[in-house]
Amino acid sequence: MTMQRIKAAFLTLALGCFLASPLTTRAADKAPDISKLPAPAAKQGLTFDTDIKKIIEPSCLKCHSGNRPKGRYVVADRESFIKGGDSGKPAVIPGKSAESPAVHFAADLVLDMEMPPLDMREDFPALTKDQIALLRAWIDQGAK
């Protein structure tokens, strides 16, 4: 084996080990720490149009509506909010707020997927703990 082939084999092996290492695992692929979530609110009878839309409009609607919504995720209506975007997975899992990605992102549980993005929060405020609690309660009540 020539020295050039040995170097190429070594570099290939090293690159393979790096790509398989935990350092290259995307933050969004890690399970969120749901113990950091606020408890669902006690309020009953929550609906998207009455309770949830007004919470998400100031923080989410500018980027997640119109002809070219970010991540192809539209939050303007209940069905779209639940459906999700580019990932192909639902953003809301009715009855399971602790498993719903929309809650994880709004509660800043997923590194690099905080919503609204950290660098935009001067213009688009993060949801408060009380708002996240209402979102959770709505989802746990069936996301009606």
pLDDT of residue 91: 97
- In angstroms, the CA 93 to CA 87 distance is 14
pLDDT of residue 30: 76
pLDDT at position 23 over 60: no
Q: Looking at residues 80-96, what average pLDDT do you find?
A: 97
pLDDT digits (tens, 9 = 90+) for 35-80: 999 999 999 999 999 999 999 999 999 999 999 999 999 999 999 9
pLDDT digits (tens, 9 = 90+) for 102-114: 999 999 999 999 9
Of 66, 140, 67, the closest CA to residue 102 belongs to 140
pLDDT at position 119 over 70: yes
- In angstroms, the CA 99 to CA 82 distance is 13
* 81 residue type, one letter: F
- Determine contact, residues 103/139, Cβ cutoff 8 Å: yes
Q: Looking at residues 5-14, what average pLDDT do you find?
A: 48
Percentage of the residues of the chain whose pLDDT score is greater than 90: 78
pLDDT at position 137 over 80: yes
Q: Looking at residues 115-132, what average pLDDT do you find?
A: 95
pLDDT digits (tens, 9 = 90+) for 24-36: 344 456 789 999 9
- In angstroms, the CA 124 to CA 31 distance is 26
